[in-house]
Amino acid sequence: MLQYPNLEQALKYHFGYDQFRPGQRQIIEDALQNRDLLIVMPTGGGKSLCFQLPALLKKGLTVVVSPLIALMQDQVEALRNNNISATFLNSSLNPYKVRSREEAILNGKVKLLYVAPERLLSERFLPFLDLVKEKIGIAAFAIDEAHCVSEWGHDFRPEYRQMKSLRKRYPNIPTLALTATATDRVRTDIIQQLGLKQPSIHIASFNRQNLYYEVRSKTKSAYAELLELIRENEGSAIIYCLTRKKVDELTFKLQNDQISALSYHAGLGDEERSNNQTRFIRDDVRVMVATIAFGMGINKPDVRLVIHFDLPRNLESYYQESGRAGRDSEPSRCTLFFSFSDIKTIEWSINQKTDPQEQLISKQQLRQVIDYAEGTVCRRTIQLGYFGERFPGNCGNCDNCRYPKPLQDWTIEAMKFLSCVARCKERFGMLHIIDVLRGGKNQKITQNEHDKLSTYGIGKDRTVDEWRMLGRSLLHQGLLEQTSDGYSVLKLNALSWEVMRRQRTVSLAVPVVQKITWEEGSEKAAEAEVLLQRLRSLRKQLADEQSVPPYVIFHDSTLKLMTQVQPKTITEFGKLSGVGSHKLAQYGDKFLAEIKAYRQEQGSQEQVKSTPFLGLPSDTELFTLQLYQQGLSVAEIAQKRNIRATTIIRHLADLIEKDQAVDLNQLVPLERQQKIWQVLEAVGDISLTPIREQLGESYSYDEIRLVRGKWRRENRN
């Protein structure tokens, strides 16, 4: 049956990849043996390939059941770009198109057919399938998003329930079920509901190594941090908010700050929503601000940043939503902003629920989210533990592992706090206790005569936030209780008394100021960036010509490889991971030409020693400019942005070169400028080191760089 010497070659030929991802090979072998399969892999694990490659290697048609029209179209577009004959049938097509596609199928011209479950099981379609089976054969059924059959899943779809009848009608056609849902209950349900026969079960680890997880407290500067995150991380971003109103407000603010952003929520009309989605997928807009309604049908592999600006409902949703980042395995960031007032809002809405069982579950789920957010151990350990997977910690790719919070002794403060709870007769909530500790003067205090207590005003040396952090931590560590009646009254327990009697110490993990991990690039990296941008524009142009998303042409990882390897020949180009036979033929020459043009310009640049490149300022440069114009010094900007001063100088030099309003005279004294200028005139645009050698050590690289910016601007042809 195999027409290829080995599976790796088939993988390279059809999809351009060099290697299988973990699990894929074994699954594909099982599929080729016609076994039933249950495949559980996290988002981005590479599930599709598990039925797509066997579909190409087997005789007959593989029928893929997929719940969402958008998903089908995405996958079919991506397959066609690898010259794989795939098609879909759904309600978006007119009868004429349906007829012609059906004909193509019956003529054996299609390897993969995507259909929605309701069509698959319709009176009209089943006889057609019988015909297909008779004429060309059905290789397999692949049930994508198989958790939709389960009422225990988060996305139950009644029409999936009918799928069992498919099994009855075609008992001998192998069936593959695929899902990213991690719970046991759903897995068992899938096997039962779909009637899988002794399925081979593959469960991949849910650890997404390429994702950086971090939690930040949602302080007053949260919006500024959000902006910084967007500006410092390249690529597409999704920002989740809890309500439509917040989505719209945030979108408006971001647009005001010159960020290319759009909204997505159920309040928008169908057309606007789907337009916004398309613009996001095609990289016409960078940031999607959305309620959780967004993302279900999104296959975009190159989302680099997922920010939860509000608290997620439960850990499973958080895992799935944040997991929309970095499906292509490239490094991506997941940031959760966490605030106490969000907890209050959610608690309030939970208390509105009438079903006590539901209330209990929601409370438990909220508790788990809080534990995750406040946790000081590896974020992965907590997340994966939630799915029953053991993870040893020390992942090196979460905030807690990279910036461990130092433990401090807060026993004295804890004693003050707890005795204040005692003095207030265990009848008040956290905010009131803090008010008393800090010597507040509100009505509640005077009415209760709490200003007469011995603990009144003994905690003025700490901020409200610090006290709150302590209070939360005491709850967390079980050294204090809180009623769950909606009033959150603080209550003491046996351990609280141990603390007050000095029989127990209290340590607190104190958050450290987190750095934005913005790696300063070397000169060489900056050059590679220029090439990468050029390749991106070429990709975008080609994608627009075909009305497909850019990632369908090449993934980011493949573009990066191109900039690293800079292939010179078509053979070299074909070796890059992500370049299959068809894409090589289709796009190889165009990308090679772009790389060649870039190299020639680089070469001629070195020869004539001038920089012909004049671009617009980048986002990050503009941010520096904005701060500079507000009168901040280089050092202040560097501190505010948490990046090195030399990087700020680099921005300013580039801004000068790009003719932006930066006054060089304020940065470098005039006579020093003149000296540097003379050397530049004499030696031309060479690198900084030899220029400095001419000038002597009293001249800094920074000064030379800044003056060179102006010199370049003046000497542009």
What's the min distance (Å) between Cβ of 39 and ligand ADP?
9
**324 contributes a contact to ligand ADP by CB under 6 A:** no
How far apart, in whole angstroms, are the C-alpha atoms of residue 367 and residue 345?
14
CB burial readout 207-227, b (16+ within 10 A) else e = bbebbbbbbbbbeeeebebbb
**45 contributes a contact to ligand ADP by CB under 6 A:** yes
User: At residue 138, what is the residue type?
Assistant: I
Instruction: Provide the CA 679 distance to its chain's centre, in angstroms.
Output: 48
Q: Fill in the per-residue mask, 487 to 526: x = in contact with Zn ion (CB under 5 A), - = not in contact.
A: ----------------------------------------
413 touches which of ligand ADP, Zn ion, none (CB within 5 to 8 A by kind)?
Answer: none
**21 contributes a contact to ligand ADP by CB under 6 A:** yes
The residue written with tokens 């991106």 in the block is 536
Task: Return the bridge partners of 141, or none.
Answer: 63, 175
Closest CA to 562 of 601, 521, 593: 593
Please list, in sequence order, all residues whose beta carbon lies within 8 angstroms of the beta carbon of residue 443, skipping any fewer than 6 positions away.
none
What's the min distance (Å) between Cβ of 424 and ligand ADP?
52
What's the min distance (Å) between Cβ of 17 and ligand ADP?
4
How does DSSP assign 632-690, residue by residue?
A: --HHHHHHHHTS-HHHHHHHHHHHHHTT-S--HHHHS-HHHHHHHHHHHHHH-S--HHH
Asked whether 120 and 66 are in contact (CB, 8 A), the reply is: no
**215 contributes a contact to Zn ion by CB under 5 A:** no
DSSP secondary structure letter of residue 301:
T
Structure tokens that stand for 706 in this block: 């800044």
What's the min distance (Å) between Cβ of 381 and Zn ion?
7
Q: Which is nearer to ligand ADP, 552 or 648 (CB)?
A: 552
Q: Which of 41, 500, 535, 679: binder of ligand ADP (CB under 6 A)?
A: 41
Q: Which is nearer to Zn ion, 209 or 349 (CB)?
A: 209
Q: Which of 398, 653, 662, 679: binder of Zn ion (CB under 5 A)?
A: 398
Q: What angle do CA 235, 237, 242 make, to 5 degrees?
A: 175
45 touches which of ligand ADP, Zn ion, none (CB within 5 to 8 A by kind)?
Answer: ligand ADP
**550 contributes a contact to ligand ADP by CB under 6 A:** no
398 touches which of ligand ADP, Zn ion, none (CB within 5 to 8 A by kind)?
Answer: Zn ion
Stretch of 47-55, 283-291, 488-496, 652-660 lying at the interface with ligand ADP (CB under 6 A): 47-55
**334 contributes a contact to Zn ion by CB under 5 A:** no
Asked whether 377 and 400 are in contact (CB, 8 A), the reply is: yes
What's the min distance (Å) between Cβ of 20 and ligand ADP?
5
Positive or negative CA dihedral for 323, 326, 328, 329?
A: negative
Q: Which of 49, 50, 204, 378: binder of Zn ion (CB under 5 A)?
A: 378
φ/ψ (deg, to 5) at 699: -95, 135
How far apart, in whole angstroms, are the C-alpha atoms of residue 446 and residue 431?
15
Q: Which is nearer to ligand ADP, 326 or 471 (CB)?
A: 326
What's the min distance (Å) between Cβ of 308 and Zn ion?
18
455 touches which of ligand ADP, Zn ion, none (CB within 5 to 8 A by kind)?
Answer: none
**47 contributes a contact to ligand ADP by CB under 6 A:** yes
φ/ψ (deg, to 5) at 481: -120, 170
Q: Which is nearer to ligand ADP, 295 or 301 (CB)?
A: 301
**387 contributes a contact to ligand ADP by CB under 6 A:** no
Task: Return the bridge partners of 238, or none.
Answer: 288, 306
DSSP H stretches of helix in 549-644: 550-553, 556-565, 570-574, 581-608, 619-629, 634-641
Closest CA to 325 of 354, 351, 295, 292: 295
**202 contributes a contact to ligand ADP by CB under 6 A:** no
Closest CA to 39 of 175, 211, 185, 209: 175
173 touches which of ligand ADP, Zn ion, none (CB within 5 to 8 A by kind)?
Answer: none
How many C-beta atoms lie closer than 10 Å to residue 260's C-beta? 15
Q: How many residues bind ligand ADP (CB under 6 A)?
A: 17
Q: Which is nearer to ligand ADP, 49 or 643 (CB)?
A: 49
**383 contributes a contact to ligand ADP by CB under 6 A:** no
φ/ψ (deg, to 5) at 263: -100, 155
DSSP H stretches of helix in 147-305: 158-161, 163-169, 184-194, 222-232, 244-256, 270-281
Q: Which of 44, 54, 295, 459: binder of ligand ADP (CB under 6 A)?
A: 44
Structure tokens that stand for 423 in this block: 């003095």
**648 contributes a contact to ligand ADP by CB under 6 A:** no
Interface positions, 399-438, toward Zn ion (CB under 5 A): 401
Residue 669: Cβ-neighbour burial (10 angstroms; 0-12, 13-18, 19+): exposed
Please list, in sequence order, all residues whose beta carbon lies within 8 angstroms of the beta carbon of residue 623, skipping any fewer than 6 positions away.
228, 231, 641
What's the min distance (Å) between Cβ of 82 and ligand ADP?
9
Stretch of 20-28, 104-112, 163-171, 681-689 lying at the interface with ligand ADP (CB under 6 A): 20-28
DSSP secondary structure letter of residue 398:
B
**48 contributes a contact to ligand ADP by CB under 6 A:** yes
Stretch of 19-27, 99-107, 134-142, 410-418 lying at the interface with ligand ADP (CB under 6 A): 19-27
**277 contributes a contact to ligand ADP by CB under 6 A:** no
Q: Which is nearer to ligand ADP, 47 or 167 (CB)?
A: 47
Stretch of 42-50, 193-201, 604-612, 678-686 lying at the interface with ligand ADP (CB under 6 A): 42-50
What's the min distance (Å) between Cβ of 149 and Zn ion?
34
**299 contributes a contact to ligand ADP by CB under 6 A:** yes
Structure tokens that stand for 326 in this block: 């970095």
233 touches which of ligand ADP, Zn ion, none (CB within 5 to 8 A by kind)?
Answer: none
Stretch of 40-48, 238-246, 375-383, 468-476 lying at the interface with ligand ADP (CB under 6 A): 40-48
401 touches which of ligand ADP, Zn ion, none (CB within 5 to 8 A by kind)?
Answer: Zn ion
**432 contributes a contact to ligand ADP by CB under 6 A:** no
**302 contributes a contact to ligand ADP by CB under 6 A:** no
DSSP H stretches of helix in 477-580: 494-500, 523-546, 550-553, 556-565, 570-574
**382 contributes a contact to Zn ion by CB under 5 A:** no
Closest CA to 705 of 717, 662, 517: 662
Q: Which is nearer to ligand ADP, 296 or 622 (CB)?
A: 296
Q: Which of 86, 215, 305, 395: binder of Zn ion (CB under 5 A)?
A: 395
What's the min distance (Å) between Cβ of 378 and Zn ion?
3
φ/ψ (deg, to 5) at 345: -60, -45
Q: Fill in the per-residue mask, 120 to 149: x = in contact with ligand ADP (CB under 6 A), - = not in contact.
A: ------------------------------
Q: Which is nearer to ligand ADP, 413 or 556 (CB)?
A: 556
**319 contributes a contact to ligand ADP by CB under 6 A:** no
395 touches which of Zn ion, ligand ADP, none (CB within 5 to 8 A by kind)?
Answer: Zn ion
How far lies 409's CA from each of 212, 412, 516, 712, in Å? Answer: 29, 8, 28, 56
3 state SS of 316 = helix
**49 contributes a contact to ligand ADP by CB under 6 A:** yes
Q: Which of 327, 379, 539, 583: binder of ligand ADP (CB under 6 A)?
A: 327
Binding residues vs Zn ion (CB under 5 A)? 378, 395, 398, 401
Binding residues vs ligand ADP (CB under 6 A)? 17, 19-21, 24, 41, 43-49, 299, 301, 327-328
